Each structure stands twice: as structure tokens, then as C-alpha cells.
């Protein structure tokens, strides 16, 4: 308002001055003064206008500042609201993070406990392996000592064989010399007999001549007597042969006795008398047989002991008989797994005459009916079964050697670490692999059934997947068994530590399933 009033006053003053201009023309000095005043007024007006414009500009600036302050206040309110929303979201995120942190702490505690148990198991297995190594080293040292003694015995037998051969050669030479002497004696006997026959003939001829008999008749009588003497000579010859045979037998026995006594008494000749009570030394053939027997014994000791026959395997506890392929034949446990499993081992003795193995084990939960399954079908490949952990993941295991009706020991072992698994049949590794459900966890609280495959929890059975046969010594561990432990179970040394389920834990037998208590397989 003040600038407007000033403008009006300036306009009125200018009008009054214009009206008075006529009168002032008469007075020039006054007009000049008025012009000066007018110029001064104009200058004053310009100055005032400049001041008024500055004041108006300052007023506009203050008005703009207020609007800006209001705009800034609105922006502050929106930013504050956004900050409140973000703070609430951060609080929610922090709450969820705290929950996850608690879960992670629980899992880390579980993992630490599992790692500690694994470390203990490893330390125990190392102790067992060290003990087994010490036993093996002791056995090896004993075997080396036994082999050294056998080798020494063999060397002594070899030297005795050489001495026997030398003695036999000397005996052969002695028998040859004795044979030549016997031949000379036979020749002498023949000569003496011939001389006696001739002398008797000549004596008879001389007697006939003295009795004045005819020579012809006497000769005939002499020839008859000579023939009779020849017959006597043949009889004596036969007797001599018999005597020679008896003599040879006596010489052979004497040679044997001489050989025996020479080995123990030194320088006695074979012709000396031997006592029948002197210790005997085996002949070369008997020595060879003894050498062979010693070699066989040493080889048997060096070889590893063969496994016992199935009939002599004990520590089986009990057996379940599944007589036919019916959906009513199955066995259940009162409780499934109590805790989550990251490792497990399932072992059992199996006997079946069927063309396929069927279902040994089925573990189902509400989430998945195939959390853990060992099953085969009579329509699929009969020489294999499926090892399922968390359907649809599975591995195919060979069971061709099991389908012969005899008892066979099976072990299935799995670990979530790197997803490794092992399958043993009669202590031999039949299949192995890795990256099978790596990091997977089998949850607790499910339904565990023997002999049938569950399509729903506790039911949904199919007769083509049923097990027909006998199960003995069934057991489950919550850890991976070592190969030595699998072998100890298979040869009947008992179950290792840490079993979580056995046939003694079976709560109900359904259908025609029968349970037989037997400690050894030969009684099952």
C-alpha cells in the first residue's frame, strides 16, 4: 500500500505543477528553479522506484521461501512415513533372521555332535584297525617262524634223503657182489654133483665086471642108475633155487636192517646182527610223502582261512518266514526312525526260491511314500533291485547270485556325504557309487514295513512287489559300517555297536508271516 500512495502523491504533485506552469512562464527564474526541482523529483522518483522495486523483490523472495519451506515440510513428512515403513520391514526381516539364526545354531550343534560322533567312530575304527594290524603282524611273525622251522625240517629231510640214496647205492653194490658169489657157489655145486654122478657110474661098472656079468647088461643098469641120479639132480636143483630165493629175502631184510642201523650206529656192516627194537628211518618214498605233507601244511597255514559254511554261522537271533506273495503278509515296527538319518546301514540274511527278490524294506512318510525302499518286481529285471532314497532318486543293485534258494548275506550302506553307497553280498562288494542324494536327510516319524512296498503310509501294497522267502538277522544302523564289520557279521561274530532297529523290535506280524527264534542259520 505504501508504494501506491507514493505514486498517487507524485502524480498529484506533477499535475499541480503543470497547472502552475502558465503563471511561472512569466517568471523564468522561478521556472528554472521549478525545472531543477522537477529534475530532483524525477531523480527522487527514480530512487524511490528503485527502492520500491527492491522492496517488492524482497517480498516475492520471502513468499517463495515460505512455499519452499512448505514443500520441504511435505517432503519431510513423506520421507518420515517411508522411513517408518522401511523400519517396520527391517524389524520383520531382523525377526526372520533371528529365527533362521536359531535354526542354523541348532543345525550346527547337530552337525557338531555328528562330527564328534564321526571323529569318535574314526578313532575307534583306527584303534580297531591298529589292533587288527598288530594281530596280523603277530600272525605273520608266527607264520614266518613256522615256515622257517618247516624249511629247516625240509633241509634236514633233504640231507637224510641224500644219505639214504648213498646207502641204497652201497647196498645195491653189496647185493650185486653177493649175487656174483652165489653164482660162483652154484657153479661149484653143479661141478661137484656132476663129479659125484660120474664117480658112482664108474664104481657100478667095476662091480659088475668083478661079478662076471656081461658088459651090455651092466651098461644098461648103469644107464638106468644114471637116469635116476639125473632126476635126483633136478630135484636138488629145484631145492637150491628155493634156498636161493629164501636167501635173497633174508639178505633184503638184512640190508634194510643194516641201513636202519647204519644211520643210527655209524660203521656197522650190513651182515652184523640188528636188534628189532632199533628206531626206524623212513624209506625215500615215505620221505617224499612226508615232504609233500609238510609243504601242504605250510601252504595251508600261509593261505587265509576260508569262510565257514552257512550252516555253522550263529548270532542270528531270529528269522521271519514269508510263505507266499500276498498283500496280507508283512511285518511292521511300532516306531520308525526316531531321529533324522544322514547315514545308514541295512544288513540281513536272505533266502528265496522266487524269480525276483521282492521288497525287503519300505519306509514311508506323509510327504513321500518312498523315503527309503529296497524292492524288486517280478515284472522287472529279476536279477536286480532298486535302492530308493527320496523318490524318484534310486540306484539299481545286482542280486542274481541271491536267487538260488540258499542263505546269502546282504548289506546296503549309504552316506549323505558325497552321496556314497556300497552294496555287499556274502562279504564281497557287488556295487558302489557316489553322488546319490548328496546332503539328503531321511526324516523321522514314518512307517517302516518289511516284506511289502507302501504306496501310501501303511498300505497300498502290490502282490507283484511282495517278498517270498526268509529273512534272518535283520538290523539297521545309523552309521556306515566298515568292511571288517560287514565281514564279522557275515561269518557269525555278532552285530557291531549302534543298531537302531532289529527283528526283536518288530511289533506285529500280519497274514501268514511266522517268526522263528534261532541262534544259528542251520536251525532257521
* Radius of gyration, CA atoms only, the chain: 63
Average pLDDT on 291-307 reads: 46
Structure confidence by residue, pLDDT tens digits, 401-437? 899 999 999 999 999 998 999 999 999 999 999 999 9
* Best-predicted range by mean pLDDT (2-11, 13-22, 278-287, 481-490): 481-490
| Cα separation, 104 vs 99, whole angstroms | 9
Of 84-93, 268-277, 330-339, least confident by mean pLDDT is 268-277
Q: Is the pLDDT of residue 129 over 50?
A: yes
pLDDT at 388: 94
Interval 230-264: pLDDT, tens: 455 556 556 666 666 666 665 565 554 444 444 33
Q: For 58-62, 130-134, 391-395, which range has the lowest pLDDT when averaged over its residues?
A: 58-62
| pLDDT of residue 65 exceeding 70 | yes
Q: Give mean pLDDT, residues 124-151.
A: 84
Highest mean pLDDT: which range of 14-23, 38-47, 397-406, 469-478 = 469-478
Q: What is the pLDDT of the chain when averaged over all its residues?
A: 78
Q: For residue 2, is pLDDT > 60?
A: no
* d(C-alpha 6, C-alpha 372), whole Å: 104
pLDDT at 447: 94
The DSSP letter of residue 442 is: B
- The more confident residue out of 14 and 393 is 393
Residue 111's pLDDT is 86
Mean pLDDT of the region 333-362: 92
95 vs 305, higher pLDDT = 95
* Whether residue 469 has pLDDT greater than 80: yes
| 97: pLDDT strictly greater than 60 | yes
Question: Which range has the worst mean pLDDT, 134-148, 282-296, 306-320?
Answer: 282-296
Distances (CA, A) of 351 to 68, 89, 401, 406, 517: 93, 64, 11, 5, 16
| Grid coordinates given for 58 | 524482497
Q: Does the pLDDT at position 27 exceed 60?
A: no
Contact predicate 273/150, CB 8 Å: no
Alpha-helical (H) ranges within 266-382 are: 284-302
**Spatial distance between the Cα atoms of 172 and 186, rounded to a whole number of angstroms:** 21
Whether the per-residue pLDDT at 101 is higher than 60: the answer is yes
Is-contact 13 41, C-beta < 8 A?
yes
Whole-number percent of the chain with pLDDT over 70? 72
CA 395 to CA 384: how far, in whole Å? 10
Residues 385, 242: Cα–Cα separation, whole Å: 83
What pTM did the predictor assign?
0.44
Tell me the pLDDT tens digit for each residue of 351-409.
Answer: 998 888 899 999 999 988 899 999 887 765 678 899 999 878 899 999 988 999 999 99
Q: Is the pLDDT of residue 269 over 50?
A: no
How far apart CA 25 and CA 393 sit, in angstroms, is: 123
Topology of 314-523 in CATH? Answer: Jelly Rolls (2.60.120)
Statement: residue 61 has pLDDT above 90: no
CA–CA separation, 20 vs 452, rounded Å? 132
Q: Please say if the pLDDT value at position 120 is more than 80.
A: yes
444 vs 204: CA distance, rounded Å: 131
pLDDT digits (tens, 9 = 90+) for 150-169: 888 888 888 888 888 888 88
Pairwise CA distance, residues 401 & 389, whole Å: 24
One-character DSSP codes across 371-417: SEEEE--SSS-TTEEEEEESTT-EEEEE-GGGTTSS-EEEEEEEETG
Mean pLDDT of 307-325: 77
Q: What average pLDDT does range 75-86 have in this prediction?
A: 89
321-338 mean pLDDT: 92
Q: Find the mean pLDDT for residues 460-467.
A: 91
Phi, psi torsion values for 461, nearest 5 degrees:
-80, 155
Average pLDDT over residues 172-195: 80
Mean pLDDT over residues 195-202, rounded? 66
Bond preceding residue 392 cis, omega within 30 of 0: yes
Give the residue with greater pLDDT, 346 vs 383: 346
Domain coordinates in residue numbering, the chain: 34-138, 314-523
Amino acid at each position: 500500500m505504501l508504494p501506491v500512495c507514493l505514486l498517487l502523491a507524485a502524480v498529484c504533485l506533477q499535475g499541480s505543477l503543470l497547472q502552475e506552469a502558465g503563471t511561472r512562464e512569466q517568471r523564468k527564474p522561478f521556472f528554472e528553479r521549478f525545472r531543477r526541482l522537477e529534475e530532483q523529483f524525477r531523480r527522487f522518483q527514480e530512487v524511490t522506484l528503485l527502492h520500491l522495486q527492491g522492496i517488492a523483490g524482497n517480498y516475492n523472495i520471502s513468499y517463495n521461501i515460505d512455499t519452499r519451506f512448505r514443500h520441504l515440510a511435505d517432503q519431510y513428512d513423506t520421507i518420515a512415513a517411508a522411513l517408518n515403513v522401511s523400519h517396520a520391514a527391517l524389524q520383520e526381516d531382523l525377526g526372520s533372521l533371528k529365527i533362521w539364526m536359531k535354526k542354523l545354531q541348532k543345525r550346527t550343534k547337530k552337525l557338531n555332535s555328528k562330527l564328534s560322533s564321526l571323529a569318535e567312530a574314526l578313532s575307534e575304527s583306527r584303534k580297531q584297525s591298529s589292533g587288527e594290524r598288530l594281530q596280523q603282524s603277530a600272525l605273520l611273525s608266527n607264520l614266518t617262524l613256522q615256515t622257517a622251522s618247516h624249511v629247516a625240517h625240509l633241509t634236514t629231510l633233504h640231507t637224510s634223503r641224500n644219505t639214504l640214496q648213498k646207502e641204497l647205492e652201497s647196498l645195491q653194490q653189496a647185493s650185486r657182489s653177493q649175487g656174483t658169489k652165489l653164482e660162483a657157489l652154484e657153479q661149484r655145486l653143479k661141478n661137484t654133483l656132476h663129479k659125484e654122478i660120474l664117480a658112482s657110474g664108474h664104481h657100478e661098472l667095476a662091480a659088475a665086471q668083478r661079478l662076471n656079468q656081461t658088459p651090455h647088461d651092466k651098461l644098461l643098469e648103469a644107464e638106468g642108475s644114471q637116469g635116476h641120479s639125473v632126476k635126483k639132480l633136478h630135484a636138488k636143483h629145484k631145492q637150491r633155487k628155493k634156498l636161493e630165493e629164501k636167501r635173497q629175502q633174508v639178505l633184503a631184510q638184512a640190508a634194510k636192517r643194516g641201513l636202519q642201523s647204519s644211520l643210527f650206529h655209524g660203521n656197522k656192516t650190513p651182515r652184523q646182527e640188528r636188534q628189532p627194537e632199533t628206531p626206524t628211518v623212513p624209506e625215500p618214498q615215505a620221505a617224499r610223502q612226508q615232504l609233500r605233507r609238510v609243504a601242504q601244511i605250510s601252504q595251508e597255514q600261509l593261505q587265509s582261512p576260508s569262510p565257514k559254511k552257512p550252516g555253522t554261522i550263529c548270532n542270528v537271533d531270529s528269522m521271519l518266514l514269508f510263505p507266499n506273495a500276498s498283500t496280507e503278509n508283512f511285518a511292521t515296527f511300532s516306531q520308525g526312525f526316531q531321529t533324522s538319518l544322514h547315514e545308514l546301514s541295512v544288513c540281513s540274511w536272505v533266502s528265496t526260491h522266487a524269480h525276483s527278490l521282492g521288497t525287503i524294506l519300505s519306509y514311508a512318510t506323509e510327504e513321500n511314500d518312498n523315503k527309503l525302499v529296497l524292492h524288486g518286481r517280478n515284472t522287472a529285471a529279476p536279477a536286480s533291485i532298486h535302492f530308493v532314497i527320496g523318490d524318484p532318486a534310486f540306484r539299481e543293485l545286482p542280486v542274481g547270485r541271491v536267487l538260488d534258494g540258499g542263505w546269502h548275506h546282504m548289506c546296503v550302506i549309504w552316506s549323505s556325504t558325497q552321496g556314497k553307497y556300497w552294496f555287499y553280498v556274502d562279504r564281497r562288494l557287488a556295487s558302489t557309487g557316489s553322488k546319490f542324494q548328496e546332503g539328503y536327510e531321511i526324516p523321522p516319524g514314518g512307517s517302516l514295513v518289511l516284506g511289502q512296498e507302501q504306496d501310501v503310509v501303511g498300505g497300498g501294497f502290490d502282490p507283484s512287489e511282495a517278498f517270498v522267502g526268509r529273512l534272518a538277522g535283520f538290523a539297521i544302523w545309523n552309521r556306515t559300517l566298515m568292511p571288517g564289520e560287514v565281514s564279522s557279521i557275515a561269518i557269525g561274530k555278532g552285530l557291531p555297536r549302534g543298531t537302531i532297529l532289529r527283528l526283536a523290535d518288530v511289533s506285529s506280524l500280519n497274514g501268514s508271516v511266522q517268526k522263528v527264534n534261532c541262534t544259528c542259520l542251520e536251525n532257521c
